[in-house]
Structure 1
């Protein structure tokens, strides 16, 4: 059984860490019936996909999402995704690395790329992003001395404006303090999910009560802190099951389960399928 393909950023562009293409350029001379882009693959860098015209779908972390006109998808590194085989859309794709994001984005911690359980998708964009993407695409191909600063300015505008539109779309009227605490919770969960699955462990690290953490999580996601922890472990388990050709025993140990049987029961309880069946189904 083959490992899931992991896609690295293009080596010749790695120092700059940024690229923007039209979908037409991306799919030029490619047979998507057989190409890796139409098969599930793990990305090691960030994506922004802007669909100016679309009536199609996109697979992200084992779920199918519809894409429509004026739709934007933000993907973080380590997510698993694939394009449809029809490419029934027009628009742009921006690819960039951690280093570019840290070097050029104003606020990394609370950005739209700080993804935990699902991708950030902006539907029916109220802002006309097409001329901005076109300008960024044109400037990217130029030979300006201050090319990175120009690209960075437009990139920041797109991300910050999209973040505002995304919050309005999702009616995010939570106060800033709650959002900051939730972002901190996401960060420490990402770092510690394999060590501890107890809500109290995370609330102690945040210096708040478990009750208060639950209140914050419920207001922002409509899920309890426990549900978020479980969902994240399940998602990470799915990613590992299809990404690496390791025995389930090893994967369960890496996820913090001493007994493999406990991991199998845990996974099946929340997915209604065994880890081995899930792996078989998705490879």
Structure 2
């Protein structure tokens, strides 16, 4: 069975404004938790706030440890899974891009999306005690509006509260990160990243992307190295490997079909490429993670 794409599990009660909030302890006590403890994808952005307990959460096959004050940012279509822990408490806030676009300006939407870009900012943020108190006040106010007050003013108030929440988290993340990196080369890097997402099946060559962007290969390498601490070639390879892994686990395609769908001329080319970058064969990887 391939990776599930959860559209109706913990997001089945999405509000009309394309967002939802629930307590993690309620999610973990739900009757059907099998789906969320397996690798899955969702078509929205997720913020996990942990207020109690120690555990871990998997994002793109990497485990992130959490404790009180940890926040995890998960962008839409990332592969992730929960590890159940009855002592864990906190909140899960999820929303779609349409929600952001409905009340934020273009720059604010871009900043919000950047907050979920694991290549620009780590998915994990550990809050200081003072920051945690401020974040929790906003989250609990949102929860109160949704589940208790629910009057004709609630949606507008919720939007304002989430605006404040996202801005606060973005500021906290920026304070704990290289501020220069958040500004210098970000526009150019995101253009490259978006171009790669659309064209990785057509070409995996640095030169081709540099030409499309109007850069020299040296400039493209400088941009990618500054943001990710990787060469452009390594970044391309890492992106392709993530795509191959996702295709392997999110489908029942044969290895031959996976090869063609991810831009390889034949299964042998895929096999060599995948083995080189993961130390396992596509078959071994699928067997290890297949649900």
> Taking structure 1 as the reference length, what is the TM-score of the superposition?
0.91
1:234-249 matched pairs, under 5 angstroms: 234-249=241-256
Structure 1 unaligned regions, length at least 5: none
Q: Distance in 2 between matches of 1:282 and 1:140?
A: 37
- Partner of 1:48, secondary structure, is strand
Q: Return the offset for 1:11.
A: 5.2
1:69-218 matched pairs, under 5 angstroms: 69-106=68-105, 107-110=108-111, 111=113, 112-115=115-118, 120-125=123-128, 127-128=131-132, 129-141=135-147, 142-174=149-181, 176-218=183-225
Q: Distance in 1 between matches of 2:223 and 2:123?
A: 19
Q: Distance in 1 between matches of 2:210 and 2:253?
A: 33
Bigger helix fraction:
2
Whether the aligned pair in 1 keeps the contact of 2:119 and 2:228 (CA below 8 Å) is no
Q: Return the offset for 1:116.
A: 5.3
- Partner of 2:63, secondary structure, is strand
- Partner of 2:131, secondary structure, is coil
> Taking structure 2 as the reference length, what is the TM-score of the superposition?
0.88
Aligned positions, number:
280
Q: Distance in 2 between matches of 1:113 and 1:149?
A: 24
Whether the aligned pair in 2 keeps the contact of 1:50 and 1:71 (CA below 8 Å) is yes
CA RMSD, 1 decimal:
2.1
Structure 2 unaligned regions, length at least 5: none
Whether the aligned pair in 2 keeps the contact of 1:76 and 1:113 (CA below 8 Å) is yes
TM-superposition CA deviations, 1:108-148 (whole Å, max 9, x none): 33431244598622123462211111111112223232333
TM-superposition CA deviations, 1:65-112 (whole Å, max 9, x none): 111221111111111111112243211101222322332344333431
